[in-house]
Structure 1
Amino acid sequence: MEGVTDGIRDIDLTNEITLSQLKDLTGLPNALIVTNVADAIFSDAQAKVEFERSFMEYDANADISYLKSFRRARIIFTSPITAAKARIHLDGTSHFDKQIRCYFAQPLDDDNMESSPNLELPAPHRQFLISPPASPPVGWEPVPEAEPVINYDLLAALANLAPGEAHEVHPPSDKHPGIVVHICEDPVGYATRPKLQQTTCPVRKS
């Protein structure tokens, strides 16, 4: 509804509305969602009265319901015109040190409400992205894995490595650097290092 809400700013709602301008407002809902509502409005009765008075100046019969957990309020007006007036003039205003934002509520589909009072599941447009298909498509065949490439010259060079010496495994070229492996000698005392003792299992009592 952003494109619609931007278009209503070009209409002078303070004066008499022409028929062409009224046609532009027919697609608007008659309800607003107010966000960033101050906590004092939910707990203080006087603060709630002042908050409701600011919206009832545009429609004395407006119905206001509160969503404390979300710090929001839903206001249903008698017509889209009064809802548009309140949205234009009160959006961004400060109430008890909180700058509220006013948005048009998404209108409900009357056809679906008449057939079923419950919300319908969304259309499965992207259901294929949530879970894979139960079976592969027709004509699908698995691709055989390629055989691994074994460099026997590299294996032979690694087998001939000796500790304490530098071995050129691959000579350098114009496009690739050379590979030189330096073999470390065995550390002193490695063979005499004590082994870790395994923890014995407890004896099971019969």
Structure 2
Amino acid sequence: MQKSENGGDEATVDVKFTDLPNALIACKVPEDLFTEDGLKASFEALFRSFDPEVQFQYFKSFRRIRISFSDALAAAEARLRLHKTDFNGKEMRLYFAQSVHIGSPRLEPPKPEKQFLISPPASPPVGWEQAHDATPVINYDLLCAISKLGPGEKYELHTATPTTPSVVIHVCDDEHGGDSSAPDDSDLDDKPRPPRPKIIQTRRPDYSPEVRQ
């Protein structure tokens, strides 16, 4: 309920707390709080003044405490009054615990039409058929033209246009200069191959302990 400054009629403002979280997360609490019962009772008494039915969940490994209230209004009031207050020599930090549920809060199995995407896949949906691979396209004209080419010749695959260049295949020259009397690969296997050239490493400069300025 809100009253105007000029003394006019009072205006009622409806505030809904259904969308606010009803739990707090306490951070930076003393480590002794998780082991000493007396210190734990003093900590819980701070929040029971806002809600007698408040519940506590202690997470020692994370040094966090979840404080669940019966409604969001009590959680907001406790956070407003106790955030950054001193407790046993430590500045206590309180944050709202966010909980997001997409659809149902329970874990539901995937829809049947989505199960074939799971690895390893389950049974495919009704009516699903495996697609067959397309037959590879073989350009026999291109293979025939390439087989007739000799060393040094070329074959134009695509004629140039005003917007695209031409595509030309060039056949490399023969390694032996086109000499038909040169021995083939079978003759070269019987002869010893020439040794590979040795890579000479760069010599490191001589080390001098003297440092000249």
TM-score range, shorter chain: 0.3 to 0.5
Q: Which has the higher contact order (CA 8 A, sep 6+)?
A: 1
Choose between structure 1 and 2: higher helix proportion.
1
TM-score by length of 1: 0.48
Larger Rg: 2
